[in-house]
């Protein structure tokens, strides 16, 4: 039988090659990690002892060693090398290289999150390593997490525990150790959760995406104390986009992570090569390919250059004057650049009202005409169509371009739930500046939509706050509910202040009511406990149990004690029944220790004793047994029951000090029982006087 937690003492030499120096810690999969020394190479190593239970066959050991040899053949600068594996004194061991550094988990614990470029470089290195392992040996890691990623002292990212991955190849049979689970639900792919056998590199791509997400956001996409709920989230939960949690992350980087975390593997990157290409492009400031359309890719293939961005419209020039063209180019590029910045950095720019105001003012003062960018977003209305002469076709009015800016700003506000008041203000200013009936109507529609969206967002905030506060209130933790409402200072804090304070006041009233109710309850409960204790201290166990059954106060710890005491005699009898036909030594009050044979006859238990000339049977009398004899037959009862029983037996013979010592371990009934003991002792003193 294998030892579940074997220990290796410093100085132990494994297979004559590897010396154990000291124990380091426990690995992410439950294995014991030791610092060791490779004797022939005079090099530090890591020795891993895997947790095992059950009988391990030679065949399993051979397959395990064979699997490790295959992994050891994967030599990559970003994979911690495996040297050797085998069996030593009934335990599996693995020997890997040793590198100075700290695990990513510790780095994130200290810094919470990493910046985009640093994260991209780490993921780039890990993706290359995983790609190499998959192409060379069809090996999946299956346990990618901050616990298995080492950041070396020279800032190189390395994957560890590849030696514990499952081999995805027909040439080597899968090796499974009983009681050894590969994978952490917080970092599992949907396929792993479903228990699919046909895993491929897309499973590791998903898992690496989780780590990528955590590096930039400071937490994984899904967290929960419940393993079941975590697995459900991996199957169907929707993660919050990275850029919404960390505005400093570029949309392109956020898109890459979104694609890595697709629930259906067919929608993820098909292989490591394409992911590596997109990450490398982003590191070197090239837009990744993750979100491009088929038409855009076809355009690039046929024309030799990328199709212009949809956010940069072609500029139409008037032929009136070359100087006018130059001037118009500057104005138009400025307008389009601002619109581009708004689109790609909504959280940063939506609240920056001055830039929009300045742009509108420049457009009005220029008395120039531009063809404004096409409207983007779901709530942007097109400019009213007006008949134009041939010359006027290239001479739009200033309000046309101004409308495009303010309506785009409003659309982005709707999309990203940004600064609604600022957007409404811009639309109101536009109405004051331009006396255009068609535009005024469109502006009123936008203002109405923004106000409704703002109200909806406020209601959503309050609904979420109320739901979370109610969770605390249900647990009677009203103060936490009040603190949650009072301390809230995020979106729409001012708009929700009155309602939050009203709700907090409601919880304060409930807290006061609960305090009074709880106080009354505690008083009644104490009366009940005192009543139960007074029966117990007198040895009236069945009466105490009957009292508990009809009481409104229920507590498991009290119930176990009361029920255990009420079953003392039954427990002793059952213990003797198990000894039927056996000769045992017992100790009685009147005869001391003697040898008897236990004979069970129906509901009765007789003790057969050899006399000089005959065998005599006597019925078992529990009350004739000594306390030590009774305790021998109460081993299955909770310790509090046994110690209270012994205390009561001591009280019967007036051994009050011994009884008091026993009651020190009486659990929840300690104080009331000691109080009852003091009263008994006081009465005994008075009667003596």
Model confidence at 212, in pLDDT bands (50, 70, 90)?
very high
Residue 522 lies in a domain: no
> What angle do the packed helices 322-344 and 398-416 form, to 10 degrees?
10
- Residues 277 and 132 reside in one and the same domain: yes
Bigger pLDDT: 654 or 179?
654
- Residues 616 and 585 reside in one and the same domain: yes
Of 427, 456, 485, the last residue of a domain is 456
- Residues 380 and 394 reside in one and the same domain: yes
pLDDT, tens digit, 9 for 90 and up, residues 462-513: 899 999 999 999 988 899 889 888 888 888 888 888 888 899 999 989 999 9
pLDDT, tens digit, 9 for 90 and up, residues 525-537: 888 888 889 999 9
- Residues 261 and 191 reside in one and the same domain: yes
- Residues 37 and 92 reside in one and the same domain: yes
- Residues 36 and 126 reside in one and the same domain: no
436 is written with which tokens? Answer: 């255009």
Containing structural domain, residue 351: 322-456
- Residues 20 and 113 reside in one and the same domain: no
Percent of the chain with pLDDT over 70: 76
Residue 290 lies in a domain: no
pLDDT of res. 375:
37
Q: Order of strands, edge to edge, in the sheet holding 583-588?
A: 583-588, 592-601, 604-610, 615-619
Provide mean pLDDT across the span 258-280.
95
Q: Which residues pair with 584 in a beta bridge?
A: 596
Angstrom distance (rounded) from CA 323 to CA 329: 10
- Residues 56 and 155 reside in one and the same domain: no
CA-wise closest residue to 454 among 489, 484, 488, 425: 425
Angstrom distance (rounded) from CA 151 to CA 107: 8
Residue 490 lies in a domain: no
Q: Which DSSP category does 287 fall into?
A: -
End-to-end CA distance of the chain: 67
pLDDT of res. 64:
64
23-28 own/partner pairs: CB under 8 Å, 24+ apart: 27/147, 27/161, 28/143, 28/145, 28/147, 28/148, 28/161, 28/184
Over the range 81-116, which residues count as b (16 or more CB within 10 Å of their CB) and which as e?
A: bbbbbbbbeebbbbbbbbbebebbeebbeeeebbeb
Bigger pLDDT: 27 or 654?
654
Phi (first) and psi of residue 320, to 5 degrees? -65, -45
pLDDT of res. 495:
86
CA 322 vs CA 172, 319, 366, 371, 401: distances in Å: 74, 7, 17, 17, 22
pLDDT of res. 286:
59
The CATH number given to whatever domain includes residue 68 is 3.30.200.20
Is residue 477 exposed (0-12), middle (13-18) or buried (19+ Cβ within 10 Å)? middle
**71 has pLDDT over 80:** no
- Residues 89 and 108 reside in one and the same domain: no
pLDDT of res. 345:
42
- The alpha carbon dihedral of 67, 69, 74, 79 has a sign of positive
The CATH number given to whatever domain includes residue 166 is 1.10.510.10
Residue with tokens 């292989």: 271
**337 has pLDDT over 80:** no
Residue 297 lies in a domain: no
pLDDT of res. 291:
46
Phi (first) and psi of residue 354, to 5 degrees? -65, -40
Model confidence at 214, in pLDDT bands (50, 70, 90)?
very high
Angstrom distance (rounded) from CA 347 to CA 247: 7
pLDDT, tens digit, 9 for 90 and up, residues 72-120: 778 888 998 888 888 888 778 888 888 888 999 999 998 888 999 999 9
Number of H helices, E strands in the chain: 25, 13
CA 249 vs CA 108, 159, 244, 256, 346: distances in Å: 17, 25, 9, 11, 12
Of 422, 437, 456, the last residue of a domain is 456
Angstrom distance (rounded) from CA 53 to CA 178: 6
Residue 373 lies in a domain: yes
pLDDT of res. 130:
94
- Residues 341 and 266 reside in one and the same domain: no
Model confidence at 3, in pLDDT bands (50, 70, 90)?
very low
pLDDT, tens digit, 9 for 90 and up, residues 249-261: 899 999 999 999 9
Residue 291 lies in a domain: no
Angstrom distance (rounded) from CA 306 to CA 154: 38
- Residues 70 and 39 reside in one and the same domain: yes
Residue 579 lies in a domain: yes
Angstrom distance (rounded) from CA 596 to CA 607: 6
Of 435, 456, 477, the last residue of a domain is 456
pLDDT of res. 78:
92
Residue 474 lies in a domain: no
pLDDT, tens digit, 9 for 90 and up, residues 383-414: 444 444 433 443 456 777 788 888 888 888 77
**378 has pLDDT over 60:** no
Angstrom distance (rounded) from CA 85 to CA 167: 15
Chain centre distance of CA 130: 25
Which region among 170-184, 214-228, 369-383, 671-685 has the lowest average model confidence (pLDDT)?
A: 369-383
Which region among 160-164, 232-236, 410-414, 579-583 has the lowest average model confidence (pLDDT)?
A: 160-164
pLDDT of res. 467:
92
Structural domain count, the chain: 4
Model confidence at 295, in pLDDT bands (50, 70, 90)?
very low
Q: Which of 213-227, 294-308, 415-429 has the highest mean pLDDT?
A: 213-227
pLDDT, tens digit, 9 for 90 and up, residues 16-63: 889 999 888 776 556 788 999 998 888 898 888 876 645 555 665 666
**441 has pLDDT over 90:** no
358 is written with which tokens? Answer: 């300045």
Over the range 158-194, which residues count as b (16 or more CB within 10 Å of their CB) and which as e?
A: bbbbbbbbbbbeeebeebebeebebbbbbbbbbbbbe
Which region among 2-11, 293-302, 599-608 has the lowest average model confidence (pLDDT)?
A: 293-302
- Residues 360 and 450 reside in one and the same domain: yes
Contact 407, 361 (CB under 8 A): no
CA-wise closest residue to 406 among 330, 339, 331: 339
């Amino acid at each position: 039988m294998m030892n579940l937690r074997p220990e290796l003492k410093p100085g132990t030499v494994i297979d004559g090659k590897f010396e154990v120096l000291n124990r380091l810690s426990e690995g992410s999969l439950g294995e014991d990690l030791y610092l060791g020394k490779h004797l022939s190479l005079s090099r530090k190593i890591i020795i891993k002892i895997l947790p095992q239970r059950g009988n391990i066959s030679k065949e399993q050991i051979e397959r395990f060693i064979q699997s490790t040899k295959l992994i050891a053949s994967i030599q990559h600068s970003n994979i911690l090398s495996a040297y050797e594996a085998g069996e030593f004194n009934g335990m599996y061991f693995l020997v890997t290289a040793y590198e100075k550094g700290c695990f990513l988990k510790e780095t994130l614990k200290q810094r919470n999150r990493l910046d985009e470029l640093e994260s991209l470089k780490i993921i780039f290195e890990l993706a290359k390593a995983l790609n190499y392992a998959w192409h060379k040996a069809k090996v999946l890691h299956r346990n990618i997490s901050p616990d298995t990623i080492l950041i070396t002292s020279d800032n190189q990212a390395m994957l560890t525990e590849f030696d514990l991955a499952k081999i995805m190849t027909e040439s080597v049979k899968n090796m499974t150790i009983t009681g050894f689970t590969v994978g952490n639900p917080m970092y599992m792919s949907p396929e792993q959760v479903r228990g699919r056998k046909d895993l491929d590199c897309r499973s590791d791509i998903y898992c690496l995406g989780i780590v990528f997400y955590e590096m930039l956001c400071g937490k994984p996409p899904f967290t929960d104390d419940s393993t079941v709920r975590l697995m459900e989230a991996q199957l169907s939960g929707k993660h919050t986009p990275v850029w919404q949690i960390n505005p400093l992350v570029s949309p392109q980087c956020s898109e890459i992570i979104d694609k890595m975390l697709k629930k259906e593997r067919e929608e993820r990157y098909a292989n490591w090569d394409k992911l590596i290409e997109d990450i490398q492009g982003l590191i070197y400031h090239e837009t990744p390919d993750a979100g491009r359309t088929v038409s855009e890719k076809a355009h690039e293939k046929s024309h030799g250059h990328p199709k212009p961005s949809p956010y940069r419209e072609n500029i139409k020039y008037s032929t009136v004057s070359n100087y006018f063209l130059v001037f118009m180019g500057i104005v138009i590029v400025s307008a389009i650049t601002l619109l581009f910045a708004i689109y790609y950095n909504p959280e940063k720019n939506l609240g920056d009202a001055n830039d929009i105001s300045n742009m509108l003012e420049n457009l009005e003062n220029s008395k120039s005409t531009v063809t404004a960018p096409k409207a983007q977003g779901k709530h942007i209305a097109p400019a009213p169509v007006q008949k134009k002469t041939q010359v006027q076709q290239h001479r739009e009015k200033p309000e046309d371009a101004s409308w495009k800016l303010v309506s785009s700003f409003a659309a982005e506000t709707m999309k990203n739930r940004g600064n609604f008041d600022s957007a409404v203000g811009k639309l109101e200013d536009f109405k004051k500046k331009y006396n255009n009936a068609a535009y005024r109507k469109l502006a009123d529609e936008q203002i109405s939509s923004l106000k409704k969206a703002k109200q909806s967002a406020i209601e959503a905030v309050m609904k979420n706050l109320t739901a979370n506060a109610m969770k605390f209130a249900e647990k009677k933790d009203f103060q936490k509910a009040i603190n949650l409402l009072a301390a809230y200072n995020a979106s729409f804090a001012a708009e929700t202040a009155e309602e939050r304070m009203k709700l907090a006041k409601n919880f304060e009233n409930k807290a006061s009511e609960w305090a009074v109710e709880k106080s009354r309850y505690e008083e009644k409960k104490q009366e009940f406990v005192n009543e139960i204790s007074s029966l117990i201290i007198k040895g009236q166990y069945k009466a105490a149990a009957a009292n508990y059954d009809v009481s409104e106060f229920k507590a498991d710890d009290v119930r176990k004690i009361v029920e255990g005491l009420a079953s003392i005699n039954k427990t002793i009898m059952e213990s003797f029944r198990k000894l039927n036909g056996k000769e045992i030594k017992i100790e009685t009050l009147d005869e001391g220790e003697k040898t008897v044979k236990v004979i069970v006859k129906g509901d009765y238990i007789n003790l057969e004793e050899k006399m000089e000339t005959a065998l005599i049977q006597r019925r078992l009398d529990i009350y004739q047994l000594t306390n030590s004899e009774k305790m021998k037959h109460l081993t299955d009862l909770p310790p509090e029951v046994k110690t209270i029983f012994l205390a009561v037996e001591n009280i019967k013979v007036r051994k009050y000090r011994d009884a008091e010592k026993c009651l020190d371990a009486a659990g929840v009934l300690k104080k009331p029982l000691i109080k009852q003991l003091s009263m008994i002792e006081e009465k005994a003193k008075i009667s003596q006087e």
